[in-house]
């Protein structure tokens, strides 16, 4: 059942212009590295970097020392620090090649990513870097929006949180219907789904 849900999600996210990959926990760090910093780095190219929010799921799946000569992860606390320098924080987001966030749910029949509002301190990371990488597990896959709302109701999450839906890379069209990517958010969207039993 889980594999079928993932295949449906993968097909729908591709239709929306994104990519989905089913990976094991063991190969996740290498896959993340290859996505953020693909191919051979030219000597003149600056190091690539990503901002990543320390949600419980990400802390479990991604080693804190995950960096090499190709890229560096800027770890950000999920809760806003009291002494936050807003200008420096925003500039870090603008300078990042990628934002890495965790999903709360993935909806198979629409390819939508769902982040609960109380967990969504990462709005700038989902909007400013040119690439967004979303991490989730197969346990977070739901068939459709009806099943999602049933789960939220059962867990008493429906009334105490807003829902943020991400449906593919940012896209818009001009008056001549020319599609443009990345105007209001990332040009690229990659979802890494970790297989859990």
Q: Which pLDDT score, from 0 to 100, does residue 153 have?
A: 87
Which fold would CATH assign to domain 2-38+46-194? Rossmann fold (3.40.50)
Highest mean pLDDT of the ranges 69-78, 96-105, 180-189: 96-105
What pLDDT, in 10s, does the model give residues 77-114? 777 777 878 788 778 888 888 989 999 999 999 999 99
Q: What is the mean pLDDT of residues 14-27?
A: 92
What pLDDT, in 10s, does the model give residues 130-144? 899 999 999 999 999
Contacts of 29 (CB under 8 A, 6+ apart): 62, 63, 66
The pLDDT > 70 percentage for the chain reads 76
Q: Which pLDDT score, from 0 to 100, does residue 182 have?
A: 46
Read off the pTM: 0.85
């Amino acid at each position: 059942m889980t594999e079928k849900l993932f295949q449906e999600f993968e097909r729908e996210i591709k239709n929306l212009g994104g990519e989905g990959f089913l990976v094991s926990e063991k190969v996740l760090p290498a896959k993340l590295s290859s996505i953020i910093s693909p191919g051979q780095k030219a000597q003149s190219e600056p190091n690539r970097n990503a901002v990543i929010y320390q949600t419980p799921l990400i802390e479990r799946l991604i080693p804190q020392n995950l960096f090499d000569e190709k890229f560096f992860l800027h770890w950000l606390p999920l809760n806003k620090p009291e002494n936050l320098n807003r200008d420096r924080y925003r500039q870090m987001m603008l300078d990042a090649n990628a934002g890495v966030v965790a999903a709360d749910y993935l909806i198979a029949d629409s390819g939508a990513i769902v982040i609960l509002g109380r967990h969504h301190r990462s709005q700038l990371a989902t909007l400013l870097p040119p690439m967004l990488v979303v991490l989730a597990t197969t346990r977070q896959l739901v068939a459709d929006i009806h099943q999602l709302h049933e789960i939220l109701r059962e867990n008493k999450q429906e009334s105490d949180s807003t829902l943020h839906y991400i449906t593919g890379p940012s896209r818009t069209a001009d008056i001549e219907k020319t599609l443009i990517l990345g105007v209001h958010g990332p040009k690229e969207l990659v979802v890494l789904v970790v297989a859990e039993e």
